[in-house]
Amino acid sequence: MTLKTLLAGTGIALALATGAFAQDQTKVGFVYVGPVGDGGWTYEHDQARQAVEAHFGDAVETVFVESVPEGPDAERVMTQMALQGADLIFTTSFGYMDATINVAERFPDVKFEHATGYKTAENVSAYNARFYEGRAIQGHIAGQMTESNIIGYIGSYPIPEVIQGINSAFLHAREVNPDVEFRIIWAYTWFDPAKEAEAASVLIEQGADVILQHTDSTAPQAAAQAAGNVVTFGQASDMAEFGPFPRVSSIIDDWAPYYIERTQAVIDGTWESSNVWHGIPEGMVAIGEITDAVPAEVKASAEAMIEAIRAGEYHPFTGPINYQDGSVWLEDGEVADDETLLGMNFYIEGLTGEIPQ
């Protein structure tokens, strides 16, 4: 009995202490779908969390829970963070969308930020990255690096984000090399090193000398390295350890600027619900160093393209672009609207094969 009261007493005292503490500190929660050690998606979100801590110092406290399955567990973790006084919660997987909306309804004073979804509410923002901008750069470099004119592409699942990437990369590879062909493999996984390695070797065997990947492990890099003459690009994280060759550049998910901006908004009391899709201009998509394995003029033109995108002068999906069957999607000079891109479920002209359903 005494032990029980004692324990309960300390529990309340502790809770009060943290509660009092939370008054002057802004508490930011992060819900991760994978382990922070996955070296890819979750790893990059956690890097951004650390950047938030570094930026704000003692003014902000961050908490996170990793490997949270989508569904009731995610909802519980979010609720728990909100109960413990979080002011802002980032939920970093598409599958958390409904859970985020549910929890947000119950905690109107807590702000939520959901990654890669499309639902928003009074206190729920959605944010996503225009990865296809980075894919355009990749396609631009890849089209000029390939000698066999075959580029291999490892897709994860046939969802709009991945299809945008394929189209964007293909468009810009064709632009610089009209003979280029894409071979696409759907791995049906985001992370399975053994399968990714197999997919990469299959593509290499079929003559691909550039491998683009939309899965998160470094296995394709290793397969390319073993093959010796195959070019790769880092995905999600920089994968610089495979540079300067085979990895000649990379797309990095850099969530830090956005996380810092949104945390600042909560501190200032200026946070408002929004639905943003940031890319190279805002720094959410970063292009990793283009190594010297890329010829200087290719590197220069790639950098020029990055600058044009950053300055808002160039949109990777600018017409004329046709659908796969040859009918017109975008007229000359026409720019794709975000709604079509977000729901993209078609290949553009020149790509062969079908998107699996």
Partner 1 sequence: MIRLEKRTAPSQFWTYAAPLLAVMLTMACGGLLFAALGKDPFVTIRTIFWDPLFSEFAWYYRPQLLIKAAPLVLIAIGLSFGFRAGVWNIGAEGQYILGAICGAAVGLAFYPTESVFILPLMIMAGALGGWAWAMIPGVLRVKFGTNEILVSLMLVYVAQNLLASMALGVMRNPDAMGFPGSRNLARYPSATSWINESAGLHWGVVFAFIAVIFAYITLSRHIFGFQVRLSGQSPRAARFAGVNPGLLVLICMGISGALAGLAGLFEVAGPSGLISIDFNAGYGFTAIIVAFLGRLHPVGILLAAGLMALTYIGGEIAQSNLRLPAAAIQVLQGMLLFFLLAVDVLTHYRVRIGTRRIA
Partner 2 sequence: MDMSAINPVLLLASLMVAATPILLAAIGELVVERAGVLNLGVEGMMITGAVCGFIVTINAGSPLLGFAGAALGGAMVALVFGILTQVLLSNQVATGLALTLFGLGLAALLGQSYIGIKAPVIAKWPVPLLSDLPLIGPILFNHDPVVYLGILIIAAVWYFLTYSRAGLVLRAVGENHDAAHALGYHVVRVRLLAIMFGGACAGLGGAYLSLVRVPQWTEGLTAGAGWIALAIVVFASWRPWRLLLGAYLFGGVTVLQLNLQAAGFALPVAYLSMAPYLATILVLVMMRSGRAPGSLAQSFHASR
For 292, phi then psi, to 5°, come to: -75, -5
Chosen from partner 2, partner 1, none, partner binding at 191 (C-beta under 5 to 8 Å by type):
partner 2
* Least distance between partner 1 and beta carbon 284 (Å): 20
List residues binding partner 2 (CB under 8 A). Answer: 34-35, 37-40, 43, 152, 183-186, 188-189, 191-195, 197-199, 201-203, 205-208, 217-219, 222, 225-226, 237, 241-242, 352-354, 356
User: Segment contacting partner 1 (CB under 8 A): 60-68, 122-130, 270-278, 302-310?
Assistant: 60-68
Which of residues 22, 47, 51, 65 is near partner 1 by CB under 8 A?
A: 65
Cis peptide before 320 (omega within 30 of 0): yes
Q: What angle do CA 115, 119, 121 make, to 5 degrees?
A: 105
159 versus 240: smaller Cβ distance to partner 1: 159
160 binds partner 1 (CB under 8 A): yes
Q: What angle do CA 177, 181, 184 make, to 5 degrees?
A: 140
155 binds partner 1 (CB under 8 A): no
81 versus 287: smaller Cβ distance to partner 1: 81
121 binds partner 1 (CB under 8 A): no
Task: Please list the helix, strand and coil fractions of the chain in percent, rounded to the nearest 5, in that order.
Answer: 45, 20, 35
* Least distance between partner 1 and beta carbon 186 (Å): 10
79 binds partner 1 (CB under 8 A): yes
Which of residues 22, 51, 121, 159 is near partner 1 by CB under 8 A?
A: 159
Which residues on adjacent β-strands are paired with residue 153? Answer: 184, 212
23 binds partner 1 (CB under 8 A): no
* Least distance between partner 2 and beta carbon 222 (Å): 5
- Could you tell me if 99 and 78 are in contact, meaning their C-beta atoms sit under 8 angstroms apart? yes
- Could you tell me if 250 and 287 are in contact, meaning their C-beta atoms sit under 8 angstroms apart? yes
Listed residue (45, 12, 40) closest to 29, CA to CA? 45
Tell me the one-letter amino acid at 253.
D
Three-class secondary structure of residue 156 per DSSP? coil
User: Segment contacting partner 1 (CB under 8 A): 7-15, 171-179, 281-289, 320-328?
Assistant: 7-15
Three-class secondary structure of residue 5 per DSSP? helix
* Cα separation values, 17 from 23, 81, 280, 316, Å: 10, 16, 42, 52
* Least distance between partner 1 and beta carbon 27 (Å): 10
